[in-house]
Amino acid sequence: MSRQPEAAAAGPAGVRRDAAPARRARGAGGDGSPAPSDAQAGTQTLERALQLLKVFHGNPSPLTHAELVRRTGYSKASVSRLVSTLLALGYLDRAADGVRVQIGVRGLRPGRQYLANSPLPRIARPVMQAFADRYDMSVGLAMADQLDMIYVQYCNGRTIATLRLGVGRAVPMALSAIGRAYVWAQPPEARQRLLFGIWKRSGAHGPQVVAKMERAFHDLDAHGYCVAAGEYQRDTFAISVPLSVGDPPVAMGLNCSAVGPLTDRSRIRDELAPALVKTARTLARELEDVDSTLF
C-alpha cells in the first residue's frame, strides 16, 4: 500500500528487479503466512504479470519475447517466467508459429462480467450511437487505466470503416487525443504525475512526447478540444474532449474518429467539435445521478 501513490506515476516499467523475489516468496511461504517483504515481492510479481498482459493493448496479434521485454522493460528471465505462468493459466496462448505468444481466452470472462455489471456502457450507448450515425464516425468513451486509456464503449457509424478499435482496447494516454484530453482535465498535481510517468516510460522520446501533449493542452485551453491525426493509427484522425460523469464524478475521455485524411479545420471547429462537446454534456446529464462506484 505504501507504494500506491507512485504506482500510477512511475509505472512498473520504472521498477527494475528480477524474478528473484518471486522465487524467494515461494520458498519462504509455508502456506499463506509469508514474511512481509515476501508479501511485497509477491504483490510486485502480480503487478508485473498484469502489466505484461497490458502491453498487448487488447490487440490479438502475437508478440515475440523480445518485443515483450522491450515493452515491459523487465529482464528476459523475468518475462519468460511470467509468460509461462500466464500460458499455464490460459491468459496467454501460443501463437500458431509456436514461438510468439498472444492473448488467451481466459481474460474474456472478467471483462465481460465487468461490462455486464457496469451501467456506464449501457447508458452511454444510445447517446454515442446517435452521434456516430449522424456524422458517420466512430465514437469512443474511455477511462484511464494507469498510463493508458481503455475504451468502455465504442460505437461505429453506418458505414463500418474498420478502425481497429473497440470496447476493451487500450491506447497509450500520451499518443492519443483522448488520452491528452483526459490528462489535461486532471488537477495540476495529478497531471504532473501522469506527465512524469509518461516521460519516464517514453525513454529517449520523452521530451518529444510530452511536447506534443503540451501542444494539445494549448488547443484544449483555447478551444476545449484537441485533434490528433495519423499518430496512433495511420490514416485516421480523432477529435477528443474531456468529460466527467457520475456521482461522485469520474474523469473520462470522449472522442470521435474516422478513417481518411483530416477533414478541414473549419468543419471540425464549426461542426464536429461543438457536436462532440454537446454529446459529452448529454452524457454527463444522463449519468448525473448514477453511482460512479458502479462504473
Distance CA 207, CA 31 (A): 47
Min CB(225)–another protein separation in Å? 23
For residue 116 the three cell numbers come to 455486464
CB 142 within 8 A of CB 178: yes
Contacts of residue 180, Cβ cutoff 8 Å, sequence gap at least 6: 173, 174, 213, 216, 217, 220, 226, 228, 240
Q: Which of residues 266-295 bind another protein (CB under 8 A)?
A: 293-295
Is residue 39 at the binding interface for another protein, with CB under 8 A as the rule?
yes
Site for another protein in 6-25 (CB under 8 A): 7, 22-23, 25
Task: Figure out which of the listed residues 10, 17, 104, 275 binds another protein, where binding follows CB under 8 A.
Answer: 104
Amino acid at the residue 157: G
Q: Does 102 bind another protein (CB under 8 A)?
A: yes
Contact 156, 132 (CB under 8 A): yes
Return the C-alpha cell found at 142: 474511455
Give the residue, chosen from 113, 208, 221, 235, that forms a contact with another protein under the rule CB under 8 A.
Answer: 113
248 in contact with another protein (CB under 8 A): no
Q: Which stretch binds another protein (CB under 8 A): 65-73, 141-149, 187-195, 207-215?
A: 141-149
- Could you give the CA distance from residue 71 to residue 199 in angstroms, rounded to a whole number? 15
106 contributes a contact to another protein by CB under 8 A: yes
> Applying CB under 8 A, which of residues 89, 207, 260, 270 lies at the interface with another protein?
89
Query: Should residue 230 be labelled a site residue for another protein when binding is judged by CB under 8 A?
Result: no
In the stretch 163-192, what mask flags binding to another protein with x, by CB under 8 A? ---xxxxx----------------------
Query: Using the rule CB under 8 A, is 49 a contact of another protein?
Result: yes
Please pick, from the candidates 10, 69, 115, 161, the single residue that binds another protein as defined by CB under 8 A.
115
Report the residue number, 58 or 220, with the smaller CB distance to another protein. 58
- How far apart CA 254 and CA 140 sit, in angstroms, is 6
Task: Report the alpha-carbon distance of residue 22 to residue 78 in Å, rounded.
Answer: 10
Q: CA–CA distance from 76 to each of 25, 65, 100, 156, 291 (Å)?
A: 20, 8, 14, 40, 43
